[in-house]
Amino acid sequence: MPYKEPTIEKLYYTIGEVAEMFEVKTSLIRFWEKSFDIIKPHKNKKGNRLFTPADVQNFHLIFHLVKEKGMTLKGAQKKMEDNREDTINNFEVVSKLKDIKAMLLEVREDLEDR
């Protein structure tokens, strides 16, 4: 398999970078920030939001519940309050399975090219 450059994690992400990661508008990121108390961005002197990798991980979880599973905001909030650990574990399993699927598709594509 080809060598892959290690990804460099940033300490802070701007709201634009976070919105780009999820292919949504920045207004949705601001809305989710207000709706979910687990997201607490730092703000610089200008008032710009700076999200930590933990915040981005929480956005992944929210995105999974709301956009991928089709839950309402109230339902996602309740699920995060009641079963946070189970929700995180289920999300991690789904993420790992998606990664494995992507890797297998890449291997299949490489084999077909030969």
pLDDT at 51: 93
SS (H, E, C) 60-106: HHHHHHHHHCCCCHHHHHHHHHHCHHHHHHHHHHHHHHHHHHHHHHH
N-term to C-term CA, the chain: 13
Q: Which class is domain 13-113? A: mainly alpha
Integer Cα distance of 36 and 84 in angstroms: 13
| Residue (of 18, 17, 28, 26) closest to 66 by Cα position | 28
Band of the pLDDT at 6, cuts 50, 70, 90? Answer: low
pTM: 0.70
For residues 12 and 52, is the Cβ–Cβ distance under 8 A? yes
Crossing angle of the two packed helices 26-35 and 53-63, in degrees rounded to 10: 90
pLDDT in tens, 37-81: 888 899 889 989 999 998 998 898 899 888 888 989 898 888 888
pLDDT at 29: 93
Q: How far, rounded to the nearest angstrom, does the alpha carbon of residue 41 sit from its chain's CA centroid?
A: 15
Residue 64 φ/ψ, nearest 5 degrees: -60, -45
For residues 21 and 62, is the Cβ–Cβ distance under 8 A? no
pLDDT at 3: 66
Domain ranges of the chain: 13-113
Is 96 a residue whose pLDDT tops 60?
Answer: yes
